[in-house]
Amino acid sequence: MTKIGLSGTVLLVLCSAVGFAQTGGGRGGGPLTRHQAPTDKALDFQLATLQAEFADMRAQKRITTRLLEGGTYSLNARYLAGAEAPQIHKSIIEVYFVQDGTGNLVTGGSIVDNAIRGGVERTVKAGDVVFIPPGVPHGFRDAKTLSYLNIHFGGAD
């Protein structure tokens, strides 16, 4: 998938409106939020804007920026430079759109002692798309400066 095609995919999936609320601090109080999602207009994220956001995240060592908050869904920019604790969501679906870098993603199995046991590990890289349904453990065992878009939708945990 091209990066321009990715913007179109984000538009299609979210069908959201323009808003410029900036809340949160990105540290301790939840992720920095760039936009709320009203219901009367679409919102697109230009490639240059996404690249600038990821550059800022690297410089600030910020892992997550919430690009769009819609209540039961969100679009997040994520930047990892190492491992991340595994997660499991009871009712949230996640979709990853890898923008840059590489990482070893583990999905499935079970979480034991803060690690996934019996899961499937694969290397993800720019252009890869990953779908993670509710109830599936997932996490990056290692990431080498990985930048990706993450869409959460379908419920609240």
Per-residue pLDDT tens over the stretch 43-82: 999 999 999 999 999 999 999 999 999 989 999 999 999 9
25, pLDDT greater than 90: no
Q: What are the tens digits of pLDDT across the range 120-140?
A: 999 999 999 999 999 999 999
**DSSP-based three-state secondary structure for 125:** strand
9, pLDDT greater than 90: no
Assessment of whether the complete model's pTM goes beyond 0.85: no
Greater pLDDT, 81 or 155: 81
Report whether 13 contacts 70 (CB < 8 A): no
- What is the band of 29 on the pLDDT scale with cuts at 50, 70, 90? low
Looking at residue 31, its pLDDT comes to 84
Q: What are the tens digits of pLDDT across the range 88-125?
A: 999 999 999 999 999 999 999 999 999 999 999 999 99
Alpha-carbon gap, residue 138 to 87, rounded angstroms: 5
Report whether 90 contacts 135 (CB < 8 A): yes
As beta bridge partners, residue 77 has 65, 149
Domains and CATH numbers, the chain: 3-153 (2.60.120.10)
CB neighbours (10 Å) of residue 88?
16
List, in order, residues 6 or more apart from 57 with CB less than 8 Å away: 63, 65, 77, 79, 147
